Amino acid sequence: MSRTARVRLFLCAAAVIAVAYTLACTGLPHFGAAVHPYGARAVGATLKQRTANTISSINFDQRAFDTLGEESILLGSVLGVSALLRRTGSEREARPRPVRVLPSTSLFGVLLLPVALLTGVYIVAHGQLSPGGGFQGGVILATALHLAYVAADYRVLRRIRPRELLDTLDAVAAGAFTCLGVAGLVAGAAYLQNVLPLGTFNTLSSGGLVPVINAAVGIEVGSGVIVLLAYFLDQTIGTESGDGGTEPNRPTDRDEDSPCPT
């Protein structure tokens, strides 16, 4: 497609979207207004289900089926990455060499790794009470583990990261979310309906099914992101192409000084 045709196509699409978006926005409640019809209904339902964090109640109770779809997207992308970035026949495993790290950097890592892991666990565990939840806490857990790579080197990260186990854990946790929904069907209600005892408001065990699904999502997201990054890191650092030549542990310095080929 020529450049002018592309620009014309873009302008047409942009005009349609601009008109439709403007029309859609005229019917919305005002930005930052005190009263919001959806908000009022959601908070009401949340209080009825004795969940302190409305967002978690929406994610894991009122609209849990949506969240199931989102978690499946993450599982799907982990599956896709593991299929695409697997080690092929022409590649072999490289032995990453130990890397010298500044003492201040490793001190930073040693001090902050446990704190970051604890923060992740806290945010997952309190998902039904305070801002955060399985997804946010899971991402924090996963990135916290990679402080080991920043503060030491890839060999240390590989030692503290059991990839095969996390691979399984990811799938099991994603499956657990699906199976927890069946609990509603067994109890004679709808799929993913909150049928567990609701407990006391604003305690760790309140909210019925919400903390359980939240924990499953936390495990799934945490292990999923670690596995995702593991495949990328393995391709970048832990693999060398079979026809030799390139060094595994050093990027070729063509960032700035390579002459532009075009």
Partner 1 sequence: MHGSATLVDVLIGLCLLLVATTATAAVFTRDPARQAVVLGMLGLGLALLFTVLQAPDVALSQLGVGTAVTPLLILLTVRRVRRGGDRATPPGPDAGTDDAGAPR
The tokens describing 221, both together, are 């997201």
Q: Are 78 and 224 in contact (CB under 8 A)?
A: yes
Query: How near is the Cβ of 241 to partner 1 at its closest, in Å?
Result: 7
Query: How near is the Cβ of 52 to partner 1 at its closest, in Å?
Result: 13
Applying CB under 8 A, does 254 fall inside the site for partner 1?
yes
Nearer Cβ to partner 1 (184/214):
214
Nearer Cβ to partner 1 (33/186):
33
User: In this chain, which of 129, 180, 210, 229 binds partner 1, going by CB under 8 A?
Assistant: 229
- Window 143-202: residues binding partner 1 (CB under 8 A): 143, 146
DSSP letter assigned to residue 98: P
User: In this chain, which of 2, 22, 104, 258 binds partner 1, going by CB under 8 A?
Assistant: 258
User: In this chain, which of 78, 113, 125, 142 binds partner 1, going by CB under 8 A?
Assistant: 142
Q: Which of 229, 226, 240 is nearest to 87 (CA)?
A: 240
Applying CB under 8 A, does 216 fall inside the site for partner 1?
no
The tokens describing 230, both together, are 């593991």
Q: Are 208 and 252 in contact (CB under 8 A)?
A: no
Q: Which of 97, 109, 110, 91 is nearest to 240 (CA)?
A: 91
Burial of 103 (0-12, 13-18, 19+ CB in 10 A): exposed
Q: Are 176 and 165 in contact (CB under 8 A)?
A: no
Applying CB under 8 A, does 132 fall inside the site for partner 1?
yes
Applying CB under 8 A, which part among 92-100, 132-140, 178-186, 197-205 lies near partner 1? 132-140
User: In this chain, which of 44, 80, 98, 131 binds partner 1, going by CB under 8 A?
Assistant: 131
Give the torsion through C-alpha atoms of 35, 36, 39, 41, to 10 deg.
Answer: 90
- Window 6-35: residues binding partner 1 (CB under 8 A): 30, 32-33
Query: How near is the Cβ of 62 to partner 1 at its closest, in Å?
Result: 14
Applying CB under 8 A, which part among 18-26, 53-61, 158-166, 173-181 lies near partner 1? 53-61
Cα separation, 60 vs 260, whole angstroms: 51
CA dist list (Å): 227 to 97, 164, 168: 22, 9, 10
Binding site for partner 1 (CB under 8 A): 30, 32-33, 53, 55-56, 123, 131-133, 135-136, 139-140, 142-143, 146, 225, 228-229, 232-233, 235-236, 241, 246, 251-252, 254-256, 258, 260-262
